[in-house]
């Protein structure tokens, strides 16, 4: 884009939120929209094949972040994949559509205003969903851009896990919101056995509009701020530094890592830190990058007695079956089974998620399984620990320090709850329906004994890829953005992505991010 080129809106980041915003804002043919994405176009064939997403980890379509060393996790640096591609993390995720509970959104409403409560956001879920199983019931949408479908060809080990959970007192989950306990097959964002990202659902149908320009391979360097107003951005494409101006607004949709990083590199953040890096301070906002929350997961992996796991997905027969029928193990989203449980009798609502993978999911998903197995995991849904994203350089190409501060809450509740979750996984694994399928413990390696839970927690816990909160929204003056997602202290600048979530949901974060973008589009249009 030539210097001086102007658009009404400049959106930074073509991920789960940015694709939604670009499509919605460009619905008005008199409104011009530029969508900038640092990553490539979403042409890689593995993006469309559901079971292939781990192959995209730590490659050219992934930012491939690592956290700082985590003292409570054996001083490990935890791998954090984030999509660096059109569609963002919705192009490399497990496609699970789990909204969270109505109480999650009511909590948002209490923190950031009533437009963010469940009653206000439900119409947006209804607008965006095309739920083949529940759509049209008044609680789930039908005919929206984003499909929510049942698993096309679930693995028989997943069926055994559901039966085993029943043998341990966990029945069928009545609703995927997580309001009750139980287990179920995960609803997924697929259509006819293929992934549907927000790029597929929103951006691709909008690309023909003359008022929408999408530019991949465009890395934003800074937000241009003049007299307290965001006027545009500087970005690099094809090794050329360019500028583009925004007549109405600059919108950051770069995610929980990159949105606070760009704010800080542009002079919006903790003044002392920015000044120490030689960055001119525009607005002193000490909470930029703070309040980082994530879902930590830990569990156990076993070898299987029978060769029926989705490790066979790469076989010539499975590939041929997928190409011809769009069925078989390649349609798997990997984490086929999920459920919600309480960590103890004294807990009033489910505070743990259970996950089941009919395969070995080991080495943080970076190791492609070469033998048959199965993995059971527990997820800490409401961590008390809080971390931060901190820049170490004024250069946005230098990855920031990411410190989730896992299990750092001083009372140790996070660790206790996750230990309870791992123990529940072991109890389900020992139930007759699943025990009959299990050969031996693979991760953590060694005998199944009193040390297994602690080894799993400390040596193998990993992210569930759900960072939020680093540009939190709120009614209070200390929040980074207000209830309309406007950056406090800078006009014509908003943040619209998972970073604005003030408190993480009892579910996965893709659904909340999409609904945030849908709501934000209406706020911006208004």
- Does residue 85 register a pLDDT over 60? yes
Kind and range of the H or E element at 510?
Answer: helix 510-525
Per DSSP, what are the bridge partners of residue 338? 184, 355
- Does residue 3 register a pLDDT over 90? no
pLDDT at 173: 93
Per DSSP, what are the bridge partners of residue 341? 352
pLDDT class for 4, splitting at 50, 70, 90?
Answer: very low
- Does residue 176 register a pLDDT over 80? no
Provide, rounded to the nearest whole percent, the portion of the chain with pLDDT above 70. 98
Average pLDDT for residues 353-370, to the nearest whole number?
Answer: 94
Average pLDDT for residues 184-192, to the nearest whole number?
Answer: 97
CA 52, distance to chain mean position in Å, is: 17
What pLDDT, in 10s, does the model give residues 257-298? 999 999 999 999 999 999 999 999 999 999 999 999 999 999
pLDDT at 346: 86
The token duo for 119 is 């009653």
Report how far residue 201's alpha carbon sits from residue 144's, in angstroms, rounded to the nearest whole number. Answer: 9
User: Virtual CA dihedral for 149, 362, 468, 391, nearest 10 degrees?
Assistant: -140
- Does residue 75 register a pLDDT over 60? yes
- Does residue 314 register a pLDDT over 90? no
Report how far residue 201's alpha carbon sits from residue 46's, in angstroms, rounded to the nearest whole number. Answer: 17
Average pLDDT for residues 502-525, to the nearest whole number?
Answer: 97
CB atoms within 10 A of CB 135: 17
pLDDT at 177: 64
Average pLDDT for residues 498-520, to the nearest whole number?
Answer: 97
pLDDT at 360: 97
pLDDT at 78: 98
What pLDDT, in 10s, does the model give residues 387-437? 999 999 999 999 999 999 999 999 999 999 999 999 999 999 999 999 999
What pLDDT, in 10s, does the model give residues 464-492? 999 999 999 999 999 999 999 999 999 99
Per DSSP, what are the bridge partners of residue 443? 301
Q: Based on the residue annotation, tell me whether 44 is a catalytic residue of this protein.
A: no
Kind and range of the H or E element at 204?
Answer: helix 204-206
* Residue of 369 and 504 predicted with greater confidence: 504
Mean pLDDT of the chain: 96
DSSP one-letter string for 110-132: HHH-GGGSHHHHHHHHHHHEEET
Environment class of residue 447 by beta-carbon count within 10 Å: exposed (0-12), middle (13-18) or buried (19+)? Answer: exposed
pLDDT at 175: 77
CATH code of the region 152-185+296-380+407-460? 3.30.410.40
Left if phi > 0, otherwise alpha if psi is -120 to 50, otherwise beta: which for 255?
left
pLDDT class for 348, splitting at 50, 70, 90?
Answer: confident
- Does residue 179 register a pLDDT over 80? no
Assign domain 1-67+80-149+191-294+392-398+466-526 one CATH number from 3.40.50.1220, 3.50.50.60, 3.40.50.300, 3.20.20.120.
Answer: 3.50.50.60
Q: Which of 44, 466, 492, 508 is catalytic?
A: 466
The token duo for 425 is 């996984």
Name, in order, each residue with C-beta under 8 angstroms of 188's C-beta and a sequence gap of 6 or more: 50, 95, 96, 97, 148, 149, 150, 151, 333
pLDDT class for 178, splitting at 50, 70, 90?
Answer: low
Domain ranges in the chain are 1-67+80-149+191-294+392-398+466-526, 152-185+296-380+407-460
pLDDT at 2: 41
Model-level pTM greater than 0.75? Answer: yes
Report how far residue 523's alpha carbon sits from residue 518's, in angstroms, rounded to the nearest whole number. Answer: 9
What pLDDT, in 10s, does the model give residues 125-167? 999 999 999 999 999 999 999 999 999 999 999 999 999 999 9
């Amino acid at each position: 884009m030539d210097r001086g080129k102007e658009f009404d809106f400049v959106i930074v980041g073509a991920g789960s939120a940015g694709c939604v915003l670009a499509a919605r804002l460009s619905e008005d043919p008199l409104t011009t929209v530029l969508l900038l994405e640092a990553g490539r176009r979403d042409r890689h064939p593995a993006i469309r094949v559901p079971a292939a997403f781990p192959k995209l980890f730590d490659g050219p379509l992934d930012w491939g972040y690592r956290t700082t060393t985590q003292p409570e996790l054996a001083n490990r640096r935890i791998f954090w994949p984030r999509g660096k591609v059109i569609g963002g993390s919705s192009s490399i995720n497990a496609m699970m559509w789990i909204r969270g509970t109505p109480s999650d959104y009511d909590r948002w409403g209490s923190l950031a205003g009533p437009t963010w409560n469940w009653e206000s956001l439900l119409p947006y879920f209804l607008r965006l969903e095309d739920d083949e199983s529940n759509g049209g019931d008044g609680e789930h949408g039908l005919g929206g851009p984003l499909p929510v479908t049942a698993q096309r060809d679930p693995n028989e080990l997943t069926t055994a896990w559901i039966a085993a959970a029943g043998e341990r007192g966990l029945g069928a989950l009545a609703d995927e919101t997580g309001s009750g306990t139980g287990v179920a097959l995960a609803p997924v964002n697929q259509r006819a056995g293929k992934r549907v990202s927000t790029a597929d659902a929103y951006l691709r149908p909008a690309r023909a509009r003359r008022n929408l320009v999408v530019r991949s391979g465009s890395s934003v360097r800074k937000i241009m701020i003049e007299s307290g107003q965001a006027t545009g951005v500087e970005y690099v494409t094809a090794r050329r530094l360019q500028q583009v101006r925004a007549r109405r607004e600059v919108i950051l949709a770069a995610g929980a890592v990159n949105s606070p990083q760009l704010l800080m590199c542009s002079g919006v953040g903790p003044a002392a830190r920015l000044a120490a890096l030689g960055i001119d301070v525009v607005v002193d906002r000490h909470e930029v990058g703070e309040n980082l929350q994530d879902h930590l997961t830990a569990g156990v992996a076993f070898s299987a007695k029978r060769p029926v796991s989705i490790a066979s997905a790469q076989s010539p027969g499975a590939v041929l079956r997928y190409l011809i029928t769009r069925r078989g193990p390649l349609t798997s989203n990997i984490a086929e089974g999920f459920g919600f449980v309480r960590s103890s009798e004294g807990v009033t609502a489910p505070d743990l998620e259970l996950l089941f993978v009919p395969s070995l999911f080991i080495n943080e998903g970076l190791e492609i399984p070469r033998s048959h197995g199965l993995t059971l995991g527990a997820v800490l849904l409401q961590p008390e620990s809080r971390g931060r994203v901190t820049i170490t350089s004024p250069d946005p190409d230098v990855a920031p320090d990411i410190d989730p501060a896992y299990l750092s809450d001083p009372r140790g509740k996070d660790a206790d709850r996750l230990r309870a979750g791992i123990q529940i996984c072991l109890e389900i694994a020992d139930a007759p329906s699943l025990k009959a399928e299990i050969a031996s413990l693979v991760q953590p390696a060694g005998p199944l004994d009193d040390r297994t839970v602690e080894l799993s927690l400390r040596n193998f816990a990993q992210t569930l890829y759900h960072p939020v909160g680093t540009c939190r929204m709120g009614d209070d003056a200390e929040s980074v953005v207000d209830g309309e997602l406007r950056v406090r202290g800078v006009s014509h600048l908003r943040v619209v992505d998972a970073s604005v979530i003030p408190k993480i949901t009892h579910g996965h974060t893709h659904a909340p991010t999409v609904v945030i973008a849908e709501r934000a589009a209406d706020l911006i249009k208004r």
